[in-house]
Chains A and B, each alone.
Chain A
Amino acid sequence: MKLRPAGDNLAGYAFISPFIIGFLAFTIIPMIASLYLSFTSYDLFTTPQWIGLGNYIEMFTGDEKYWTTIKVTFTYVLAGVPLRLAFALLVAMLLNRASRMVGIYRTMFYLPSIIGGSVAVAIMWRNIFGNEGTINQLLFFMGIDKQIFWYQDPTSALWTLILLSVWQFGSSMLIFLAGLKNISPEYYEAASVDGANPFQKFFKITLPLLSPIIFFNMVMQTISAFMTFTPAYIISKGEGGPLDGTLLYSLYLFQKAFNFFQMGYASAMAWVMLLIVGLLTLILFKTSKYWVHYESKEG
C-alpha cells in the first residue's frame, strides 16, 4: 500500500517548498552574510571594509561596555530562569489537587505570562517601581520610611527586570502541572506507607520524575531569556541605564547596529551570542545525564 517513491519526492518537496525557500532566504543567506559582515567594518552606506578579527578583538579587549552587557545578561539569565522555574514548580504543586477553584487560580497565575511581553506591561512595571510608584508607597505604609530609587541604581534596576521575568512564570507552571498530573499517585502512596515525609517525597519522587520537563523548560527559557529585548528597551527608554545596569545583550546589539550603525561589530556580537547560547545548551545537555531522570521504556 505504498505510494510511488518518485512521486513522493516530488510531492514532499512541493509541500515543504515554502519552508525551504524561507529557510534559504531568511535564515541561511542572512547567516552567511552576517558571518561575513562580522569580519568587516560596515556602516550601511559605504562598502564593507574587511578588517579580519578586528571586531572580535575590539569586543574582548577594547570595549568595556561589552563586558558590562555580558555581566548584566548573565545575571539576568542565571538568576531569572532558575527563579522563574522554581516559582512555577512551587505554584504548580500548590494547584495539583482536585478542586473546582483550581481552574480559576490557574487562570489568574497564567494571565501575567500571556500579557507579559507587551509594551503595556513594561510601561506598567516601570511605573510600579517608580520613585512615587506603588512599591515605594506600599513600603511606606508598611513602615519603611526610606524611598528606594529602583531605577537609579544599576543593580536594583536589573532586579526589577528579573522580577518582571519571574512574574511571568505561568507558562512553565502549566507545563509542570501537566507533568505532575502524569505522576502516578501510587508512588506517593507507597512512599507514605514507607513513612516518607513531604520533603523526601518531593526530592525522591516529584523532582526526579519531572526532571525531563524541567530540563526542556530550562533549555528553551535560557535561550529566550538571552534574547530579551522589549522590557529592557521600554523600562530604560532604549538607553540600558542607569550606568548600563539594564543593558541586556540584545539591547546593546540593537544600539550598536541601529543607533551607531556599526553593522559589522553588531554582526560579530550576534555570532558570539549564538556561540554562548549554543555552549550553554551544550552544557545543559552534557550535565543532563547527572540530574535528568529518564524512565526506562517498558510495557
Chain B
Amino acid sequence: MKAIQESPQAEPRQLHMNKPKFKWKKWMYHLVTGLFALLMLYPIIWLLMSSFKESSEVFVTAHSLIPDPFIWSNYAQGWEGIAGQSFGTFIKNSLIIVGFSTIGAVISSALIAYGFARISFKGKAFWFGCMMVSMMLPHEVVMIPQYIIFAKIGWLNSFLPIIVPQFFGHAFFIFLMVQFIRNIPIELDEAARIDGCGRFSIFYRVILPLIVPAMATAAIFSFYWKWEDLINPVLYLNSPDKYPVSLALKLFLDSETASNWGAMFAMSVVSLLPVILIFFLFQKYIVEGISTSGLK
C-alpha cells in the first residue's frame, strides 16, 4: 500500500483530484470556527474598547468597537480610586489575600496529600471519604457559624477569616496531588528510606520536587478563586481601606449614578489583566488541571 501511495505517478493525481474540494471545506471550517470564537470574545473586546471611550460616548456608540476619540484618561481617573482609597490599595489588598491564601493552601495540601497517598494508617479511608464529601459541601451550610465564630474572636474587618482557613488544606488540591503522587514510583521512596531518610525528608527531598507541576496547577487555581472571590470580602471586610479589587469594583458599580462608566470599565480591565496574563503564561498547567480533575 505504502509503496503505491508514495510512487510518483499516484501522488500528483490524487492531489489534483482532491485539492479544490478539500481546501474549500477547510476554509469553511476555519471561517465558521474563527468567527464563532471571535463572537465569544466579543464582550471582552467590547469591555476593553469601551475603557478607551469617553464616559458619555460609551452607550451612544455601544455598537462600535472603535473608540473615537481614543483616550487614556479613564485609567488615570479609575486609578485615583473610590471611597478615598487609590486603586493601588485595592490591588495591594488583593495581592496580600491571594498570596497568603495560595501559599497556605498549596503547602498544607501537599503535606496532606503525601499522607493520604503514601502512608497507610488506621482510619485513612474514613478521612479520605470526609475530604471527598467536603468537596461537594455547599459553602452556605458552614458560612453562618463560621461568621459567628470569626466575629466572636474579633477577626471581623481583617484578612484573617479569608486567609487562615486556607492553611488547613483544600480538598480539590489534595485530591489533585494525591492522584499525582500515586503516579510516582514507590521505589523512589524506598531508595530514599534505605539511604536513611525519614518520612519528612522523603516528602521534602523526593516527593516535593516531583509534584511541582501539580502544585503549580493548584497555585494557579487558588490565585483565580481568591482573586475573584466576592462573598468572603463582602462578609468580612467593611472598611474600604481593606477592600480587595473585587469589592472595590462593586463600589464603582454602586456609585454608577455618577455614570462614570469609563473609570469603571478601565478598572474592570485592570482587574482582569493579572488573570489573563497568568492564563497565557501557564496555560499548560491549567489545561492539565482541568482535564485530569475537573477543576474549574
Contact = CB atoms under 8 A, between A and B. Distances in A.
Contact of B47 (A20, A124, A140, A254): A124
Contact of B111 (A18, A114, A121, A223): A18
Contact of A119 (B167, B250, B269): B250
Interface stretch (B8-16, B69-77, B80-88, B120-128): B120-128
A91 B63 CA distance: 27
Interface in B5-57: 30, 33-34, 36-38, 40-41, 43-44, 46-47, 50
B141 A123 contact: no
B79 interface: no
Interface stretch (B95-103, B210-218, B288-296): B288-296
Nearest to B38: A108
Contact of A120 (B116, B127, B169, B272): B272
Nearest to A278: B136
Contacts, number: 256
A120 B37 contact: no
Interface stretch (A8-16, A57-65, A189-197, A287-295): A8-16
Interface in A65-86: none
A15 to B, nearest CB: 3
Interface stretch (A146-154, A202-210, A227-235): A227-235
Main secondary structure of the interface of B (DSSP, over half): helix
Contacts of B268: 119-120, 123-124
B144 A108 contact: no
Nearest to A254: B231
B249 to A, nearest CB: 4
A19 B62 contact: no
A2 to B, nearest CB: 9
B253 A220 contact: no
B168 A171 contact: no
Contact of A227 (B108, B139, B168): B139
Interface in B131-165: 131, 134, 136-149, 151, 165
A51 interface: no
Contacts of A233: 230-231, 234
B261 interface: yes
Contacts of A118: 227-228, 246, 271-272, 275
Nearest to B111: A15
Nearest to A264: B144
A137 B63 contact: yes
B33 A105 contact: yes
A257 B139 CA distance: 14
B201 to A, nearest CB: 12
B151 to A, nearest CB: 8
B254 to A, nearest CB: 7
A11 B199 contact: yes
Given A16-B127, A111-B44, A223-B136, A27 B291 contact: no
B114 interface: yes
Contact of B294 (A25, A99, A113, A216): A216
Nearest to B171: A19
Given A111-B279, A125-B43, A34 B144 contact: yes
Contacts of B190: 1
B20 to A, nearest CB: 19
A141 interface: yes
Main secondary structure of the interface of A (DSSP, over half): helix
Contacts of A128: 43, 46
B230 A229 contact: yes
Interface core residue of A108, A132, A217 (most chain B CB under 10 Å) = A108
Given A15-B115, A105-B33, A27 B108 contact: no
Given A16-B112, A120-B269, A230 B264 contact: no
A227 B33 CA distance: 32
Contact of B144 (A16, A120, A257): A257
Given A105-B34, A108-B41, A120-B268, A15 B119 contact: yes
B281 to A, nearest CB: 12
Nearest to A7: B199
Contacts of A125: 43
B235 interface: yes
Interface core residue of B34, B142, B165 (most chain A CB under 10 Å) = B142
A217 B138 contact: no
Contact of B169 (A18, A95, A107, A130): A18
B130 interface: yes
A65 to B, nearest CB: 17
A33 B148 contact: yes
Contact of B145 (A33, A114, A141, A227): A33
A270 B119 contact: no
Interface in A125-179: 125-128, 130, 132-134, 136-138, 140-141, 167, 171, 174-175, 177-178
Contact of B63 (A25, A138, A253): A138
B276 interface: yes
15 contacts: A5-B120, A8-B120, A15-B114, A18-B111, A19-B127, A31-B141, A34-B145, A37-B144, A99-B30, A108-B37, A111-B44, A111-B279, A119-B249, A230-B231, A234-B230
Given A30-B144, A119-B228, A127-B59, 6 more contacts: A11-B121, A22-B167, A25-B168, A37-B145, A108-B38, A115-B228
Query: Lowest 4 A-B CB distances belong to which pairs?
Result: A22-B168, A15-B115, A12-B121, A120-B268
